[in-house]
Chains A and B, each alone.
Chain A
Amino acid sequence: MPDIREVSVEELRHLVSDRAMTGETMLLNMGPQHPSTHGVLRLLLELDGEIVVNMIPDIGFLHTGIEKTIESKNYQQSEVLTDRQDYMNPSGNNLVYCLAIEKLAELDVPERAQAIRVILAELTRINSHLLWLGTSGMDLGALSMFLYCMRERELVLDIFELVSGQRMMTTYIRPGGVWRDVPDEFEAAVRSFLKTMPRRIKEYEDLLKFNEIFLDRTKGIGVISSEDCLAYGLSGPVLRASGISHDLRKKQPYSGYEKYDFDIPVHPEGDIYARYRVRVEEMTQSLRIIEQALNKLPKGPVRSNNRKYVPPPRSEIGVSMEALIHHFKLWTEGFKPPKGHVYVATESPRGELGCYMESNGTQYPYRVHMVTPSFVNLQALPLMSRGLYIADVVGIIGSVDIVLGDADR
């Protein structure tokens, strides 16, 4: 067992106020294991009574070295690792990784695959927002919220299992398109979800929107101004709840988002309640996008025909020599994108999720860096919680919606 190391306040002298040195304020560890920190997040709170004077977040407890591991596996193998980064948005992670490969290699994606990608990405967004609603409602005291949201998540996870065999880490979105075509039951399952969901969202809103305790705990708490948001590089619902209308799905559309008609909810107040409203309205907009994508789902292939990057179907291997050789090359070596570097950004439920990919012409990625929104949003947490009670800190962490797998990679 490793020896316990005692840390004195001296090491953190530049971060805490002078009062901590004399012992007037207390340094409390809201440790990595805590039911309200949504994962392994350690917060060092400097407390004056119960008021937070300063807060030092400490991350790295879930660091698994994904970027280092990706450098030793080829592109197809490392896609599995990207699933497990932001575990509430696995399709989104796959999507940004595959978009980066497609940009590097100039790979085409058929339209049916783009529409299926959009449906999956929006379903994952609803999934993630449902979990956020459940857990942050539970943090603020509405315990029944959690089980209602879990009930809805089961419907979405069933759809994922129908499509790819896996409930969460699907790796369904692959370079060049998607892995295989959706089964026939997919459309019926998604339509039944689309029919039940609006009623359920209204139920959740009725549960919380006029609840006095909820309003007291969320209105005016954790305010961040729009200038601070831009300075700290925040993005996603936190930015939109501070009044800036910025959504990458509208500004720099990818994967066919320009074809669908949807609104971006923006609220100017910047407190927890504004973030709550933005996310709930985003769920409704996601339902709109899914319905449009499902109605317009074009027919055609679901994966690119470029055999240098996409394995040939099983039936072709028995009859064509080139197909056999392509299959062999892809499985023993892996594909080799041209030399260069790209940066692709998408909109995850938490903010801007980007992938910086650099290739040196071999089958192993030279450097892949995932720019994750939770890492960036955590920086602004001390700013939002100065001068508030510990109980408010719990609400703020929930409202920023961090996922530690995203922050630590």
Chain B
Amino acid sequence: MSEHIKLTVQAIQSQFNAVVEEFRGETSLIVLPEFIVPVMNSLKSNFQFNALMDVTAVDYYPNETPRFHVVYQLYSMPENVRIQVRATLNGNSPSIDTVEKVFPSANWKEREVYDLFGVTFIGHSDLRRIEMPEDWTGHPLRKDYPLGYEEVQFTFNYEDIMQNKPQPKD
């Protein structure tokens, strides 16, 4: 861990009770979702992490507590270091404050996490689906959402499939 990251980690750990993990030279801080906006503000103003490169989520179904980890990748251009912040969310109603006010680049990325995982971002200016069509139900990247294959049409199920197939209208 570089000096800058050591200072950052010590401060965030003491202030917000974060758990620190280090793997393959990368540092990640695991925080509770209530603290995410103060943590982001502190990282941006005090420790010069001025670019949010990514907001994504991981689904740990069937583990319900926590079920989701929302992962933020931050990059500091002056110091040239990266750090990862993870917020743990439970499965019943995953919602977390938006970091859009701190980093405007989180706008579309949080929309994507909402669309594909169903995590609601409180305070987001424009929370709509982005990748899937607007009237889609379900959140595809969750582990309990099926991959969705097309059934192969053999002779024994030929009529069944032909009935459900969309046909051109006359």
Contacts and interface: CB of A to CB of B under 8 A. Distances in A.
Interface of A: 1-2, 5, 7, 11, 14-15, 59-60, 63, 65, 67-69, 72, 103-104, 106, 230-234, 244, 246, 251-252, 340-343, 345, 352, 354, 356, 358, 366-367, 369, 371, 375-376, 378-379, 408-409
A371 B55 CA distance: 9
Contacts of B145: 68
B168 A376 contact: no
B54 A371 contact: yes
B54 A369 contact: yes
B33 to A, nearest CB: 19
Contact of B126 (A15, A343, A366, A408): A15
Contact of A63 (B52, B54, B131, B169): B131
A356 B131 contact: no
B37 interface: no
B67 interface: no
Given A342-B26, A379-B108, A356 B141 contact: no
Given A233-B53, A340-B23, 5 more contacts: A1-B168, A231-B104, A375-B112, A379-B105, A408-B131
A330 B125 CA distance: 47
B71 A356 contact: yes
Interface string B126-142: 10011111110000110
Contacts of B56: 356, 369, 371
A371 B168 contact: no
19 contacts: A15-B126, A59-B131, A68-B140, A68-B141, A72-B147, A231-B103, A233-B52, A233-B103, A252-B80, A343-B84, A356-B71, A358-B58, A366-B58, A367-B58, A375-B112, A376-B109, A378-B108, A379-B107, A408-B131
B169 A1 contact: yes
A366 B56 CA distance: 14
A324 to B, nearest CB: 31
A367 B126 CA distance: 26
Contacts of B59: 367
B19 interface: no
Contacts of A341: 23, 28, 58, 71
Contacts of A103: 24
A250 to B, nearest CB: 10
Given A230-B50, A358-B58, A378-B108, A60 B26 contact: no
B77 interface: yes
For A14, A252, A356, which residue has the most chain B Cβ atoms within 10 angstroms? A356
A348 to B, nearest CB: 13
A59 B130 contact: yes
Contacts of A375: 108-109, 112
Interface string B54-71: 101011000000000001
B51 interface: yes
A342 B168 contact: no
Contact of B23 (A7, A342, A345): A342
Given A15-B126, A60-B130, A233 B105 contact: yes
Contacts of A15: 126
Tell me the dominant secondary structure on chain B's binding face: loop
Tell me the dominant secondary structure on chain A's binding face: mixed
On chain B, which size bracket covers the interface? 35 or more
B74 to A, nearest CB: 10
Nearest to A383: B104
B94 to A, nearest CB: 16
Nearest to A371: B54
For B58, B59, B105, which residue has the most chain A Cβ atoms within 10 angstroms? B105
B98 interface: no
Nearest to A234: B105
B51 A106 contact: no
B105 A232 contact: yes
B13 interface: no
B123 to A, nearest CB: 13
B105 A60 contact: no
A234 B53 CA distance: 9
A231 B105 contact: yes
For A231, A233, A345, which residue has the most chain B Cβ atoms within 10 angstroms? A233
A341 B140 CA distance: 21
Contacts of B135: 5
A251 B77 CA distance: 9
A230 B80 contact: no
A227 to B, nearest CB: 10
A243 to B, nearest CB: 13
Contacts of A59: 130-131
A375 B115 CA distance: 15
A251 B73 contact: no
Interface string B18-46: 00000110101000000000000000000
Given A60-B130, A69-B147, A356-B73, A343 B26 contact: yes
A354 B140 contact: no
B52 A1 contact: no
A254 B147 CA distance: 34
For B53, B58, B80, B166, which residue has the most chain A Cβ atoms within 10 angstroms? B53
